[in-house]
Amino acid sequence: MAENITQEAVQTPGAVFFIFGATGDLARRKLFPAIYSLYREGKLAEDFAVIGVARRPRSEEEFREDLYRSINEFCRYKIEDTDHWNRFAGHFSYKSLDINDIDGYCELRELTESVEARFSIPGNRLFYLALAPELFGSVSFNLQKGGMLSSEGWHRLVIEKPFGYDLQSAHKLNEELSQVFKEEEIYRIDHYLGKEMVQNIEVIRFANAFFEPLWNNKHIANIQITLSETVGVEERGGYYDHAGALRDMGQNHMLQMLTMIAMEPPSRLVAEDIRDEKVKVLRSLRSYASEEEVQAHVVRGQYAAGESNGKELPGYREEDKVDSGSNTETYFAAKVFVDNFRWAGVPFYIRTGKRLPVKTTEVVVEFKQMPTNVYLGQKHTLEPNLLVIRVNPMEGIYIKINAKKPGSESKIEPLAMEFCQSCLIGINSPEAYERLIHDAAQGDSTYFTRWDEVATAWAFVDRIASAWAQKPSDILTYPAGSWGPTAADDLLAQDGFHWWPVNGQEEDNVIWIRQG
């Protein structure tokens, strides 16, 4: 019952997928629905198996009931055919395991070998650790000690962020993993790299002759990257109060999106060459040399009580599992420079935060303005041209240009032409985890982060965190439901720019032409 199979729907090689943390929220919301979608679309053949691993006792029947509920609630495909469902669920097994018990891994190996024999799987094993990062090292060692890495097929390790808390802890974690797995076997997942429009950035840039020649400091005035959330910390208060926005979003999602925008064309369309270019961008980031530079270029804030859509919202310090005197940032904005020949002098403004008015992820490329003292610029106020790449929740692009207002003799107004990709694909747009699990099984590491990417990003972020640590109470507040501290507006205003409205906050004076 494979559906929507296209020429691109390449089946993964036969493998056993191990989900460590199988009773957790990530597995329930993302991983199981992703695997089901791959199966429905024919990207998983019948020679696969999934073994859920967690400490909690579960019978196989209970585990499959959990799986059923997970897919019906969170998957873009619903279960409609009982026979098809039973065939899919028959590929799933469960093992209750204390991750520190070597005997348990030996039992897991025996279960794995029986499953591999049943489905004719040639020893390929993918280990997905949906666990706390401090457990990655011990699980890896025990997989080796328990004989789980002795099969003749390939072995791959997929791990979730955060990869460490800072550069030092990331180094320690990487050293532990490297004693068991080779670098090419480690897949550090950043789900933002699996999003359709993030991957589309490369195509927009390098497949269009009217973008790439302009993609430099001669034609671009600034680039803005916004990743905003309307929710607070919810049930993640304990984790978030330890991490904060800079480590939770800045070190990974924000810098990864920046590399996609700023990278040079790779010499070959292979994973390592693409990741080489991303590392070059990270190495070109201008480091903040002092606390004063951090203060001048980076804004941090924490949401206080406020309201949104008539609903009262608590402040961050009032959230569950958050220290009442916490100075953890829930918002940060920064002005960043990429010091190379392409981008010298172009500011990149990045911002992310919780309890903001709109949930969105988008990139705004603002081109330099036309001369104001010649021809049309003498009589009209010409706004800069924009290219906007919308990543989430709606996917698409729009371009803003200046045009004559219809019906007028000479009035010029901004005109926005929009392409809505989500409107065409609708709910059947592949979810990021589907793409990334499929890529990992195929051995395609293009949209996973390599160790030198992680280390270079941490080195940049650690300078900011170190400066903040010197004055922990020097943090701005902003009302929940607002766009963050006004100091973030000043970052751009001092350069003659402003934050452009994001998805859901469109400009009133713009004529919109929509497709989709």
Report the candidate in 447, 512, 429 with the shortest Cα–Cα distance to residue 201: 447
* DSSP reduced 3-state for 218: coil
Spell 139-176 as b/e; 16+ CB within 10 A means b.
bbbbbbebbbbebeebbbbbbbbbbbbbbeebeebbee
In a 3-state reduction of DSSP, which class is residue 62? helix
Mapped to the 3 state alphabet, what secondary structure does 64-119 carry?
HHHHHHHHHHHCCCCCCCHHHHHHHHCCEEEEECCCCCHHHHHHHHHHHHHHHHHH
Q: Which residues contact 164 (CB under 8 A, 6 or more apart)?
A: 133, 170, 171, 172, 173, 174, 454, 458
Q: What count of residues does the chain have?
A: 516
Contacts by 203-212 with C-beta closer than 8 Å and gap 24+?
A: 204/389, 204/397, 206/265, 211/387, 212/265
231 phi and psi, to 5 degrees? -80, 160
Count CA atoms within 13 Å of residue 119 on its CB side: 27
Q: Which amino acid is at 341?
A: F
**How many whole angstroms separate alpha carbon 66 and alpha carbon 48?**
19
Dig out the tokens for 213 from the structure: 């020649």
DSSP 295-320: HHHEEEEEEESEEETTEEE--GGGST
Residue 253 falls in the annotated catalytic set: yes
With b for 16 or more beta-carbon neighbours within 10 A and e for fewer, the 22-54 pattern comes to bbbebbbebbbbbbbbbbbbbbbeebbbbbbbb
Half-sphere exposure of 428 (CA within 13 A, CB side): 10
Catalytic residue, from 91, 253, 380, 498: name it: 253
Residue 414 · residue 507 · CB < 8 Å: yes
Catalytic residues, by residue number, are 253
